[in-house]
Structure 1
């Protein structure tokens, strides 16, 4: 796939690898540098190095190489399926499970389990992500809808894009939130200081999170979050941005936190229109045992 970008006045004198990674936010800066080293990036038709500083009006073109397909094996991994028909299924993903295979996680993923369970999954997202319409992080538990065919996938993806899907999460955060409800409206993109993280940045993608306080403890708050958009790490980034990072979050939380083996975040509610019947489907999954036990511990701590 060939992409292009014309350097703006504000981008002048900026390294080309930084510009491309800002434009193509799904890719890290190190990945962009690999493309440059493979001579897949040109400026005004000429090969350049990663430290080239662009000038206003430069035409950058770059090719994204085809990813090498992973050898994904079906695995007999138990799934908590709340609903299933010929078009889709809704699954309650456990904490610690990666959604789809990648270079570092080729086994034990939700996709491995789905391939064992289903003979038919949509192919819109390619061989690495069959059926996957949306994702949640490895250490986030909760509800996901999986498409069994391309028609269902397209319908569900359109609903997500149009903000028609109901998604509510519960979480525990550091600090005591004094107001009962709130909204975070702040754009999210790659952290310019750490390309392995996301952060609130001026040129990021539009992101809105609504939250409601469910319970307050002496040093923590139990909240419910409703997503209006679905950016990478959105709740984790937004709650950190307003000063209430998620408990246990190794990437965005404080060093001193509770030992929960990852962020305390659970996708509790999922609602959407069935792609074939048009019926509104609503699902709820209570948080896993560790989450409930943590709430009890916090309630009795002081």
Structure 2
């Protein structure tokens, strides 16, 4: 097999892997969403710990105060993202939630406009309007189902905003900190943050059956370690915009898995809205790629 196809195989497997996250969360619905999120980050951090201790100890010791502050804030933002996004699955479908949280690139570009003075082109504005219009169609359709579905869509939107904040903090320091060190610190801080949240609200961290523990481990291994590392590995061979386009198909993979494993049906508004959102985001990535090389650290799904 031609080696030039290996990165695209990695992207395909990476997108399939991250697509499993939503289904795993749904399967662990008997556990509070924040507990599931907590174990995802905690177990992922523990899996990364041996590598960090062996290879990255010196880098961690050399981190400046500003880099620590930014990474800690990124970890807190990641924790909030997981809490609200995982909670959204208690109210809305996998299809709606994953499509809405995929709006993250738009919020990221808005953030870079204010903090890094990026400029909007006409194509960028049009593509954002198209994607947002698609999300309104999904929300309208979910509102017709019940108020809870619309609330779940709102939580997914909050999830998109907070994962954007996570990326914006990371963008400021990723040139100085390796992806593994940055990810490890962010995951660890995120796990601690969610643990404190669970203690405050009184969520039990133990007492779950073996199926739930298998799901917690699977969340840490498949979408978090395997999926995101495959995407980061592919960055060595293809542009970040190519990977970004690949990730846009995560909602499709997640929706198909939810249909097969959970029996979730996709409504016509979810089909139409989701198609419009993905089309708008494809246009968005194409328009922004002409202006700059996108630097992305994958680490939310």
Give the TM bin, normalised by the shorter chain. Answer: under 0.3
TM-score, structure 2 length as denominator?
A: 0.21
| Bigger helix share | 2
Q: Which has the higher contact order (CA 8 A, sep 6+)?
A: 2
Give the structure with the higher percent strand. 1
Larger Rg: 1
